[in-house]
Amino acid sequence: MDIDTLPPAELAKIKAVFQERVKESFVNVTSDLHVEGSHSDKTVNRECAVAIGGLLVLVGLTYLVEQSCFPRFAERFMPLWLIALLVVSYAALIPGISSMLFFTRMTLTDPRIPHNRLEIIFSTDSMQPYITETMSSLVFFLFDGGNYPAGILVGFYGFGVPALKLILLVAAAFLRHQPARHCKLVNVIQFISKFDSPKLVCYVLIMLIISGQGRPGPPSEGQVDATFHLDLGYMYYFVFCMFSLLGALMLPCEQPKQEQVSPLLVRRYGLSQRDIFVFNACLSLIFFTFFYFTMFVPLISAKLDWATASNLQLLDPLYPLEQLEKMDWPTQDISLSSSISQLLTLVGNNGDVNAFLGWLILAVFVVFFTVADMLVLLFASFLVWRNLQQPNDAQLSRAVFLMKVAHWLKYLSMLDVAAFGVAITSVAVKVTFGSIGIHLMARSGIVFLVIAEVLHYVVYYQTASTVEFFARAKEDN
């Protein structure tokens, strides 16, 4: 736009629009780290401590009351303290859905223009230079933007899975005295319990993608300042996901004895305990090879490319948009290791509890618990083989105990959740933030991640059937 050729009246009108937008921007956005209705890191940290501390105290008091006043309550339904844990977890889901989930804003600092700083418009309807969303409003935001796949995924994992889990929990309580049906329901509940967590991974990755665009460009082109702040909604949803998962894992389940079925490797290929251990060891070696690449090879890459923006507007109507299309910004590679490192840096610099919770998801649940589960499974398989060489009831007893540990680790390990989280991130960012020029590309790391998790599943179920078969055979003899 050549402002020198505009009539004075038109130029005055455009300048008035710009001044009004700047005024509205500074009324609604008081600083780079605050949006009206959002909460400071200090407030989120305090509420997190109160929520988790209050939950633990309430469950502990319920346990004491149950032991002294209702010792036989668990025989009819399930332990009273466990009901309290699940009820309070679902209570945390309410603010997790209704509280602000995140806000984000981006500005361009261009040294070649007089006013220097340009707000990037996210909502062309209200001309807002930021986005604020709750989990429920995010679903409508995605649908309104035409991003139906992302809207369906966010709605399914945010509302569908918790609702299904609640229905199954109630059914399991009433089927307490039908062991076969009850245990099947418990197994289903435990399986799906961690699959309301992919969005925890998704929002952390989006935070790293958006904030990662806040980097200097070429010296003559200034820099982009990007803010993505996870708010109370993320913290409360984390509390719901983690504590409802722990509650599901603590559900009592008396598995009825079924007909003895030999493991596939024994039944079809006649492998011995030693052969099965060697087989699992080879699979574990392949797993750790792929897991290494999963850690360090980028899962996705993000690039700020304003030439691809379909709906880019700036708060300043006089700025020539074609100038943005010529800017070349560096590509951001996102891997598990880089994400964990960046989140740890955020925790150290800002003391942000949501960054810590994101780090906890990736470093502990995705990485540590998955590696620990594979090591436990391998050792359990080794004990079964060693029992063949040196028959000892203690060997098989330890293997059975290790499989109970592996059962917990299997549901606490979230490599599969991370894969779904990356998939949701790719779908959500492509349309929602792609319209303002953030271009997302899938990388080979996601392939390594999926292969590693498939190997994890194979080793788990193979080892579980092997330990159960030889332990039962020992009991029968």
Report how far Cα 239 is from the mean position of its chain's Cα atoms: 12
In contact, 283 and 377? CB cutoff 8 Å: no
Identify the segments of the chain with pLDDT beneath 70: 1-37, 74, 110-129, 145-146, 214-222, 255-262, 267, 307-327, 388-393, 431-432, 435, 474-477
Q: Do 463 and 280 form a contact (C-beta atoms < 8 A)?
A: yes
Q: 237-261 burial string, b = 16+ CB within 10 Å, else e?
A: bbbbbbbbbbbbbbbeeeeeeeeee
CA atoms within 13 A on the CB side of 61: 6
Whether 239 contacts 51, CB under 8 Å? yes
- Gap between the Cα atoms of 445 and 297, Å rounded: 5
Beta-bridge partners for 131? 104
1 assigned to some structural domain:
no
- As a whole number of angstroms, the distance between CA 355 and CA 129 comes to 24
Q: How far apart are CA 211 and CA 358, in angstroms?
A: 14
SS3 assignment, position 442: strand
Domain of residue 445: give its range.
21-476
Among residues 405, 409, 455, 443, the alpha carbon closest in space to that of 288 is found at: 455
Q: How far is CA 7 from CA 4, 12, 113, 236, in A?
A: 8, 9, 21, 54
Instruction: Write the pLDDT tens digit of every residue in 348-377.
Output: 888 889 999 999 999 999 999 999 999 999
Of 360, 353, 356, the C-alpha closest to 43 is 353
Tally the domains of the chain: 1
Q: Which residue, 444, 180, 158, is CA-closest to 296? A: 444
Residue 16 is assigned to a structural domain of this protein: no
Contact present, 156 and 424 (Cβ < 8 Å): no
pLDDT the model gives residue 259: 60
Question: What is the rounded end-to-end Cα distance, in angstroms, of the chain?
Answer: 89
pLDDT of residue 368: 96
Q: Which residues contact 209 (CB under 8 A, 6 or more apart)?
A: 300, 302, 332, 334, 425, 429, 433, 438, 440
What pLDDT does 29 receive?
36
pLDDT the model gives residue 2: 47
Closest among 89, 237, 230, 83 to 159, alpha carbons compared: 237
Q: How many CB atoms lie within 10 A of CB 425?
A: 26
304 assigned to some structural domain: yes
The pLDDT value given to residue 102: 86
Indicate left, alpha or beta for 146 from its phi (over 0: left) and psi (-120 to 50: alpha).
left
In a domain, 467, yes or no: yes
pLDDT of 24 reads 44
Residue 2 lies in a domain: no
Tell the burial category of 422 from Cβ atoms under 10 Å away from its Cβ (0-12, 13-18, 19+).
buried
In a domain, residue 221? The reply is yes
How far is Cα 61 from Cα 56, in angstroms, rounded to an integer?
9
Per-residue model confidence (pLDDT) at position 154: 76
Is 6 among the domain residues? Answer: no
- Distance between CA atoms of residues 106 and 155, nearest Å: 26
Q: What is the pLDDT of residue 261?
A: 65
Residue 3 lies in a domain: no
